[in-house]
A and B are shown apart, each in its own frame.
Chain A
């Protein structure tokens, strides 16, 4: 059974800092890994998708990496802004059942 862990559970940084969010998983037989953003009381917005054959994806100030052999992914946010404050969840598709397994997320606060 796939288990997904995100550390830290919460993070507070001053505006302008670069930061890294971590995601680890136990089953490396994945189809892809996605990073989502969730604002309080809202749905999920997909940020980046890394296919199993890829090692990283970039979108603007965001860069996500994937290392299947070690069961780890990181989301790098450059030059953080207060608008980046949200919960960030990683999720993986494993097996044939199109099932997305989520981590519990990292709650990010970017302060002025």
Chain B
């Protein structure tokens, strides 16, 4: 009964070869987030969508892009992956933005390796 689904579970790409990670949700939530988590580090927010409104974090490299074609799907595109982009990429959703009772729901993540 997974509600936030990420594919693939593991992704291997070559240095400089574009790669796309996908996330889908069955919760009909308005907000979708992409986080990057490197080994033994805290997850770091890359960007989020509030409906179709894209919100980039100031320190997210231009190499990272995102698309949200509809409510259910959101994609993370890495245009030219470098070795430093190897990480776990986590997708999350919430019904609305910041509010006291808003919980985030996470997918299982995609572990990206760059060779």
Contact = CB atoms under 8 A, between A and B. Distances in A.
Interface of A: 4, 31-32, 34, 36, 41-46, 49, 51-53, 89, 91, 93-100, 102-105
B41 interface: yes
B34 interface: no
Interface stretch (B13-21, B64-72, B104-112): B104-112
Nearest to A99: B45
Interface of B: 6, 31, 33, 40-45, 48, 50, 55, 88, 90, 92, 94, 96-109, 111
Interface residues of A, dominant DSSP: strand
Nearest to A4: B42
Nearest to B4: A43
A59 to B, nearest CB: 13
Which of A52, A98, A103 has the most chain B CB within a 10 Å cutoff?
Answer: A98
A53 B98 contact: no
A93 B45 CA distance: 12
B106 A45 contact: yes
Given A31-B98, A43-B108, A104 B45 contact: no
Contacts of B107: 43
| Leading 10 A-B pairs by shortest Cβ distance | A98-B97, A51-B100, A102-B42, A98-B98, A43-B108, A44-B106, A43-B109, A43-B106, A104-B42, A31-B98
